[in-house]
Structure formats: structure tokens, C-alpha cells
């Protein structure tokens, strides 16, 4: 085994996502750690043995596992930072020193850490003896990972130091994607750093300013004019473009898995936080507006994705016809099922079809990562943040809504089931029988056995859920409204979710959640 230990000396991390300066990068991307090692190498003489160690590290075929605690992101505050001196009058309002240093707004994403130590480990890799000393010395030179305030101590860790990883490389179950170093990463970093040219330029500047040797001064000025006519050589900001999918490790000895639906029980879970909104939170009654806008946002940023991924996001094929198979579905994760529950929308679970190919899963995940805000009209602007914490609130846990892996026999709706067809019967009992049969067929359509019993009810078993009549009705293409109802479903065997039924199952309606109380004669005890 090889492992790198990282201790965040200030108890916080200051590092922003590459495409969002207001969001903390956590857990640390293996690619960022490699870049920190490379920077230490470049800035301390570029020892050939260190370079050999870095080439060996980037060439490893195994993707590292990560042991990282939870992180609590601080509110992002705008700071006004002096920029480099420049000629001409200053635009700054106050000047404490006679320098022309304007101040520009900058934001620094930070998060406090529950545990200050992180490990990157390669369990199946044995450390090459020829690079051990150089890699250890290079680790000791690393002083920061991310922003200069993100001070760290880094070392080669012993196997007995390392706790179990909580993020592992798994493309089939990936919920986040992290940048990694691959072959030629070091060569590209050397080119972007442009260290030789930078050092040459600095030496020539010193020589050109030294008038003790007129001949050498003239030669230096001529070389500066010839080799650097446009001023200092360009140094580019490094950018890694290779990502790997990571997921939480599977528990050892996982219980027997109950039969499930056509949807993958490993949900992508997102939190919803107000950005500029007159409301402190959204509720279940707003779910149609949220899912409609979210799907629009996903499609607007997916033009460069393969056609198969776009059809999964849109629910329509390349000619605009509805897909016959399953596609991306939205699950409203609300605060329900508790004596103080009020039905507020904590976040959203996004479900993809079970058995999706690796490439299609990667495309969907890429689109999901690009949507950071939802513009909801009068409801304001809301931040969309993927939840990667190890112990999220109960109602933001996928298993709360899916009962994975053991399953459950009894389920009740949190959002009403929109009818696929309106019953023809006029007599009440016959009418309810037709609806129950329709719901049974809906269960079969998503891969479940037909329930033993379907109990229609105007209210949900789950406390905090609004009654069915309070929810907006779905509309057909002819603008007529679909009827809907809450329901309780009882199966002969335990089944797992996510269970989404009816005409609005991809838009957040017809969402069922397991219940554990006994049902007797149509009443919940």
C-alpha cells in the first residue's frame, strides 16, 4: 500500500471548485494534491529524483481512495484585495501609501473540517523503493493545498495510520467526479508553469538594471528586447481535464437486496438553499415549478453531451417523441414523517434508470454538476448543491425514500398519484376499484409486483404532507386537468424504491415513501 497523509494546520480548507469560485472543493481532488506536489518540485530546484517520483505517481493505474471527514462550508464573503502596482493615478477611494494599488473584489471559499487529517491511499500499490526517499522529501516541502491560507503538512503515511476510506473510485455508482492526474500531467504542468523562461527573464531584468558592467547591461537589455518583447513570459493557470467517478464504499456483508423498480436506488441528492428569494424555503406544492425549471436548466447546458445522455435528461428521443423507457426522475425530499414536520422542501433526489451504462451515467452526472442555480420567477433564485456529507439529515438520505436494500411492505404517497386514465364508473366503490387497478398497473410498469391492497385517501400517512386537493393538477396536452389522490400501498413482499407512480412520476408526483406502522382495515395504527 501507498498512502499520502495531509494535515490541514488551520482546521479549515480554502480551495474552490474549478468552475465555481463560491463552492468549496471537498473532498480534495487527487489532481489538486498532485499539483501541490508538482508546485513544490518546481519552486525548490526541480530535483531530478523528485521528477522521477512524480512521473511514477502519475503513471499509477489505480485511482486513489480518499479518507476525508465532513466539512462545513462558511458563508462566502467578498474581500477587496490590492492588485499589482501599475502606472497612472489610482482609482482607489483611500490611499494609505503613495502606491497606485486598486482593490478588486475577490471571494475565498472555505470550510471548517471535523477532522483535520486526510489520506489518499492506493491499497493495491507497493511503493517503489527507488522513489520512496524522493517522494517523502517532496511531501515535506508541500506547505499548502489550494489557497495560500490553506496551510498543510504532508507526509508518506504508514498503513496503520489510515482509517477506512469513505470515498472510493466507482464509475458504476459514482455520485461525484474528482480531478485526477494521468500520464503527461507533469509535462503539461511544466509547460504551464514555464519555469525556465520565468527564471531567465528575472535574471536578465537584474542584469539590465546593473550598471556596474555596461557591456553586460547592454547585452541583457538586447536579449530582453529580443526574447521577451512583450514583457514577462506567460504562465498559465493549470487545469486538469481528467475526472474519475467516486462513491461511498459499499457496506461489508450488505443485507439481502429486495426486488426494486426500474430506477436506481442510489440517488443523486441535492440540497436547495435560497440565494435571492423572499422565502426561507420552498414546499411540496411548488414541486412542479421546480422540476420544470430544473429540467430546462439541465437541457440548456447539455448541448455538448452525447445524444443518449440528452434523451435521458429530456425524456424525449431525438425527434421529440416521448421515450418508451425510463429516464431521469425527480424526487422531492421534504421534511415529513415527524411530529413537527411542516412539508418544507429540503432538497431533491434525482433517480436514473437502473443498469445505466457507464458513459450515459457520466454524461448525466456531468450535466447535473453544471446546474448551480435555479431561477424560479417570483420564488427567487435558489442554489443547487450536491449533498456529499456522510451523515445528512434523515430526510436527505436516499435510503429513507427507497428502503434500500431490505425494502418495505408498506408505502404511502408524499405527493399524490396523477391518474393515467380517468375511471369510467360512477358508483363510488367501483370508481375506487378502477383507480386501485390503475395504480396496480402503474406498479407493474415500473418493475414491481401488483400490491395486495391499495387504499385511496385524501391525506398522506406521512405527517407534514399537504392533502391531495392542495397540490396543483397536472394538465394534458388538451389543457384538461388530471385528477390525483394520495394512496397507501401494501405488498405481499418487501420491495425497494424509489417508487414513482402515475402520469407525473418523472416530475415529482406519485412519490411513495416506506411506512413501518401496521395497517388494519384501512387504518394506520
Whether pLDDT at 522 is above 80: no
Of 22-31, 247-256, 470-479, which gets the smallest average pLDDT?
Answer: 247-256
Nearest residue to 505 via CA among 437, 431, 395, 414: 414
515 beta partners: 410
In the chain, what percentage of residues exceed pLDDT 90? 44
Alpha-carbon torsion, ordered 9, 14, 18, 23, to 10 deg: 130
Cell numbers for 525: 395504527
CATH 3.30.70 domain extents, the chain: 2-80+101-191+238-247
Beta strands in 128-250 (DSSP E): 152-156, 168-169, 176-179, 243-247
pLDDT band at residue 494 under the 50/70/90 scheme: very high
Work out the widest C-alpha separation in the chain, in whole angstroms.
109
pLDDT band at residue 205 under the 50/70/90 scheme: confident
pLDDT band at residue 235 under the 50/70/90 scheme: low
- Please give the span between the terminal C-alpha atoms of the chain, in angstroms, as a whole number: 54
Mean pLDDT of 421-437: 86
349 beta partners: 269, 331
Sheet containing 152-156: order of strands: 65-67, 117-122, 2-8, 152-156
CA distances from 195 to 143, 198, 290 (A): 19, 5, 49
pLDDT band at residue 484 under the 50/70/90 scheme: very high
The whole-chain average pLDDT of the chain stands at: 85
Mean pLDDT of 67-96: 59
Mean pLDDT of 506-510: 94
Can you give the pLDDT at residue 518? 37
Q: What is the SS3 assignment for 134? A: helix
pLDDT tens readout for residues 236-273: 667 787 888 898 887 765 556 788 999 999 899 999 99
Whether pLDDT at 52 is above 60: yes
Cβ pair 62, 124 in contact under 8 A: yes
Mean pLDDT of 487-498: 93
CA distances from 418 to 351, 469, 476 (A): 19, 12, 11
Can you give the pLDDT at residue 263? 94
Of residues 72 and 487, which shows the higher confidence score? 487
Write down the architecture of domain 2-80+101-191+238-247 according to CATH. Answer: 2-Layer Sandwich (3.30)
The sign of the CA dihedral 323, 325, 330, 336 is positive
- Spatial separation of the C-alpha atoms in residues 261 and 498, rounded to whole Å: 7
Q: What is the pTM of this model?
A: 0.72
In the chain, what percentage of residues exceed pLDDT 70? 87
Nearest residue to 343 via CA among 399, 287, 267, 398: 287
pLDDT tens readout for residues 280-297: 999 999 999 999 999 999
Nearest residue to 458 via CA among 497, 408, 416: 416
Q: Where are the alpha helices (DSSP H) in 315-411?
A: 358-370, 398-402
- Spatial separation of the C-alpha atoms in residues 458 and 517, rounded to whole Å: 19
Mean pLDDT of 441-464: 92
Whether pLDDT at 85 is above 70: no
Cell numbers for 81: 484585495
Can you give the pLDDT at residue 422? 82
- Spatial separation of the C-alpha atoms in residues 406 and 400, rounded to whole Å: 12
- Spatial separation of the C-alpha atoms in residues 476 and 455, rounded to whole Å: 25
pLDDT band at residue 79 under the 50/70/90 scheme: low
Can you give the pLDDT at residue 76? 54
Can you give the pLDDT at residue 499? 95
Can you give the pLDDT at residue 83? 56
pLDDT tens readout for residues 389-411: 767 888 999 989 999 888 899 99
Whether pLDDT at 101 is above 80: no
Can you give the pLDDT at residue 249? 87
Which residues, including other chains, have CB under 8 Å from residue 509's CB and lie 6 or more apart?
A: 287, 288, 415, 416, 417, 418, 471, 474, 484, 502, 503
- Spatial separation of the C-alpha atoms in residues 364 and 362, rounded to whole Å: 6
Of 105-109, 118-122, 160-164, 466-470, which gets the smallest average pLDDT?
Answer: 105-109
Q: Which backbone phi and psi does 274 adopt, to 5 degrees? A: -65, 135
pLDDT tens readout for residues 328-364: 999 999 999 888 899 999 999 999 998 888 888 888 9
Mean pLDDT of 438-458: 92
- Spatial separation of the C-alpha atoms in residues 256 and 232, rounded to whole Å: 64
Amino acid at each position: 500500500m501507498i498512502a499520502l497523509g495531509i494535515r490541514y494546520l488551520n482546521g479549515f480548507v480554502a480551495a474552490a471548485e474549478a468552475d465555481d469560485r463560491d463552492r468549496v472543493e471537498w473532498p480534495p481532488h487527487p489532481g489538486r494534491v498532485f499539483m501541490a506536489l508538482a508546485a513544490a518540485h518546481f519552486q525548490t530546484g526541480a530535483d531530478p529524483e523528485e521528477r522521477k517520483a512524480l512521473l511514477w505517481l502519475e503513471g499509477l493505474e489505480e485511482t486513489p481512495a480518499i479518507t476525508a471527514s465532513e466539512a462545513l462550508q462558511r458563508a462566502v464573503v467578498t474581500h477587496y484585495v490590492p492588485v499589482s502596482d501599475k502606472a497612472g493615478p489610482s482609482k482607489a477611494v483611500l490611499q494609505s501609501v503613495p502606491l497606485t494599488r486598486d482593490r478588486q473584489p475577490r471571494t475565498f471559499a472555505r470550510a471548517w473540517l471535523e477532522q483535520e487529517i486526510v489520506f489518499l491511499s492506493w491499497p493495491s500499490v507497493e511503493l517503489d523503493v527507488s522513489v520512496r526517499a524522493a517522494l517523502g522529501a517532496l511531501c515535506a516541502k508541500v506547505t499548502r493545498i489550494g489557497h495560500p491560507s490553506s496551510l498543510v503538512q504532508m507526509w508518506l503515511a504508514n498503513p496503520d495510520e489510515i482509517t477506512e476510506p469513505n470515498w472510493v473510485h466507482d464509475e458504476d455508482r459514482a455520485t461525484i467526479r474528482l480531478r485526477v492526474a494521468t500520464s503527461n500531467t507533469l509535462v503539461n504542468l511544466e509547460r504551464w508553469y514555464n519555469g525556465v523562461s520565468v527564471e531567465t527573464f528575472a535574471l536578465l531584468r537584474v542584469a539590465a538594471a546593473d550598471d556596474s558592467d555596461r557591456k553586460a547591461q547592454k547585452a541583457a537589455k538586447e536579449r530582453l528586447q529580443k526574447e521577451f518583447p512583450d514583457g514577462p513570459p506567460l504562465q498559465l493557470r493549470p487545469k486538469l481535464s481528467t475526472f474519475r467517478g467516486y462513491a461511498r464504499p459499499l457496506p461489508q456483508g450488505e443485507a439481502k437486496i429486495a426486488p426494486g423498480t426500474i430506477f436506481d436506488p442510489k440517488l443523486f441528492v441535492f440540497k436547495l438553499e435560497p440565494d435571492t428569494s423572499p422565502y426561507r424555503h420552498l414546499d411540496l406544492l411548488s414541486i412542479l415549478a421546480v422540476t420544470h425549471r430544473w429540467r430546462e436548466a439541465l437541457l440548456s447546458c447539455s448541448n455538448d453531451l452525447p445524444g443518449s445522455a440528452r434523451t435521458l435528461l429530456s425524456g424525449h428521443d431525438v425527434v421529440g417523441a416521448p421515450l418508451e423507457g425510463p429516464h431521469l426522475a425527480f424526487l422531492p425530499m421534504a421534511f415529513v414523517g415527524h411530529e413537527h414536520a411542516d412539508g418544507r422542501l429540503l432538497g431533491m433526489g434525482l433517480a436514473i434508470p437502473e443498469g445505466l451504462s457507464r458513459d450515459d451515467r457520466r454524461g448525466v452526472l456531468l450535466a447535473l454538476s453544471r446546474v448551480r442555480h435555479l431561477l424560479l420567477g417570483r420564488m427567487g433564485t435558489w442554489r443547487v448543491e450536491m449533498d456529499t456529507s456522510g451523515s445528512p439529515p434523515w430526510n436527505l438520505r436516499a435510503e429513507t425514500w427507497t428502503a434500500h436494500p431490505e425494502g418495505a411492505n408498506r408505502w404511502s404517497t408524499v405527493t399524490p398519484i396523477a391518474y393515467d386514465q380517468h375511471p369510467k364508473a360512477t358508483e363510488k366503490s367501483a370508481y375506487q376499484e378502477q383507480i386501485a387497478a390503475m395504480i396496480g398497473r402503474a406498479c407493474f410498469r415500473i418493475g414491481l409486483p401488483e400490491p395486495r391492497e391499495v387504499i385511496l385517501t385524501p391525506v398522506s400517512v406521512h405527517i407534514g404532507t399537504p392533502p391531495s386537493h392542495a397540490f396543483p393538477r397536472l394538465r394534458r396536452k388538451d389543457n384538461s386537468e388530471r385528477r390525483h389522490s394520495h394512496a397507501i400501498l401494501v405488498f405481499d413482499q418487501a420491495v425497494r424504491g424509489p417508487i414513482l407512480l402515475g402520469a407525473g412520476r418523472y416530475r415529482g408526483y406519485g412519490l411513495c415513501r416506506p411506512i413501518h406502522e401496521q395497517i388494519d382495515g384501512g387504518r394506520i395504527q
